[in-house]
Structure 1
């Protein structure tokens, strides 16, 4: 039987693939409404066993967005007290930057235990590993249980961003086809853009976590098998997207570039939903908004 996308044998030496992005939000209802207005199909609410909940956007390339809210504050507080790094980092992010944003980049792995050891040895571990399971439902209501094992990494003292490796122990046996049929024609994530006052200082962190060095001397791009991770200084970010880079930060994830089938379909949909956007070269740029914690860029891919 061929190796699945998240089985150990699917990870030869080299960079890990982008798995998903974590987007904190104050309200899943607000996130769902905003994402619907951008032309995305949003999955049913998923509830974690430690107080947080999500409503994911799944894409054809097997990546996804994870809008994340606190559904049970008491359970979340207990999880933090018990050493749950995922919930603790979510709390730290919200305390510093508010309830809307883009807190974490997640890479797929076939061996989270080995990744945790790499992070510890490099002095980059953000804390203990996390294993958990939760129910998953498809668009038709069919349910299964999804299980994950996570290993966390972060720069020293950084509160604006963290990274983690995600091993899918038990991928749910459900049909995601309907959840991937987006009205905007989005098919995948081709680039994630981070802002840093000192991007060269972040290369070690990201290179170790992603298992891939930056391409070229002093380059700000790290190639993953399915996407590019780009680090920009604030001025370069503003020049590229026409969006303020925000407060100074060691590392902050700021933009997501989606591949779409037709740019004119996206433009028409956004106009019909009264969503403001700008055109920057071949890109359609939508600024962050409540329920959409990062700039979303839509790019037609032939």
Structure 2
């Protein structure tokens, strides 16, 4: 996937979905028709079980693997663990805490966040083992830079530079029974959506977005920030408690909406229709609303 464009606007990389239990997340995501990767262990106390999509984006269900290691990491200034803890303290252990942007230069992103007064902490570099469905393993390495405004406890953004991409075959991990091929839209809720433009424009490196109305158009997806009434009107889902900024929904491109409806019905997953979208409300192990949209 292209990590950035000539104009510098960063693409969507992945979504961070806190959960109490990876077993619970794996069961729920499998019932929704996703193939879930083997568990990945971070060196700072968290763990994940990712869902990889053919467009290069992915979901990262995130759980606490070791409370003590995570506590120590936060005490040492690890921004990823610290922001995860802030989110869980505010919203609980199930949710959608962060939108992650792809970058070729996380150092430049961090410098830009600091200059704008929007840095959410020190940069973080780390590596972890990665395995495919056949058991072949490699090492994945990342460098992260974090952004948030001072009032937002329900959401943060960060830029992710992949220093070393694992040399493993992800084809089997991307062949989802529900036919999902990518994330085409991310929807956030805010009581003051206009006030989120500066944070998002700095995070995605698009100065022109400050003066634009409506959605933020990334190279590979759209980020929409809606007021609570607009969110509920569009998807038929309660917007929840007041919030400065909270990521609330992910829209997936699927090949056949009827096939998705049949799969959800067969797996006893309640779902609704909103226009051309199939809407699945959040549940344990699925911290955001999942919207399935047929895109040929």
Query: SS in structure 2 opposite 1:207?
Result: helix
User: Cα offset for 1:214?
Assistant: 6.7
Does 2:78 align with 1:88? no
2:271 is matched with: 277
Q: Give the number of equivalent residue pairs.
A: 296
User: What residue in structure 2 maps to residue 228 of structure 1?
Assistant: 222
What's the CA shift for 1:15? 1.2
Q: Could you say which residue in structure 2 is the equivalent of 1:14?
A: 8
Q: Distance in 2 between the 1:178 and 1:148 partners?
A: 23
SS in 2 for 1:134: strand
Confirm or deny: 8 A CA contact 1:185 1:260 kept in the other structure: yes
**Which of 19, 39, 42 matches 1:45?**
39
What is residue 291 of structure 1 aligned with on the other side? Answer: 285
In structure 2, distance between residues paired with 1:166 and 1:14: 14
CA distance in 2, matches of 1:154, 1:217: 19
Does 1:25 pair with 2:19? yes
Match runs of 1:190-229 below 5 Å: 190-212=184-206, 219-229=213-223
- Residues 131-151 of structure 1, C-alpha deviations (whole Å, 9 max, x = no match): 000000011110000000000
In the alignment, structure 1 residue 249 sits paired with structure 2 residue 243: yes
Counterpart pick for 2:180 among 179, 186, 203 = 186
- The Cα of 1:218 is off from its aligned counterpart by 5.5
Gap runs ≥5 in structure 2? none
2:55 is matched with 61
Q: Is the 8 A contact 1:254 1:295 kept in 2?
A: yes
- SS at 2:62's partner residue? strand
Distance 1:274 1:250 in 2: 34
Matches within 5 A, 1:9-158: 11-158=5-152
TM-score by length of 1: 0.96
Does the CA contact (< 8 Å) of 1:214 and 1:221 recur in 2? no
- Deviation sequence 1:73-114 (CA, Å, 0-9, x none): 010000001100000000010011000000000000000000
Q: Any unmatched runs of 5+ in structure 1?
A: none
Q: CA deviation at 1:216?
A: 9.2
Q: How far apart are the structure 2 equivalents of 1:67 and 1:146?
A: 17
Residue 158 of structure 1, CA deviation: 1.3
Q: 8 Å contact 1:212–1:224 — kept in the other structure?
A: no
Matched-pair contact (CA < 8 Å) for 2:201–2:210: no
| CA apart distance, 1:217 | 5.5
Kindly report the root-mean-square deviation, in angstroms, between the aligned alpha carbons of the 2 structures.
1.2
Partner SS, residue 35 of structure 1: helix
| Equivalent of 1:172 in 166, 174, 197 | 166
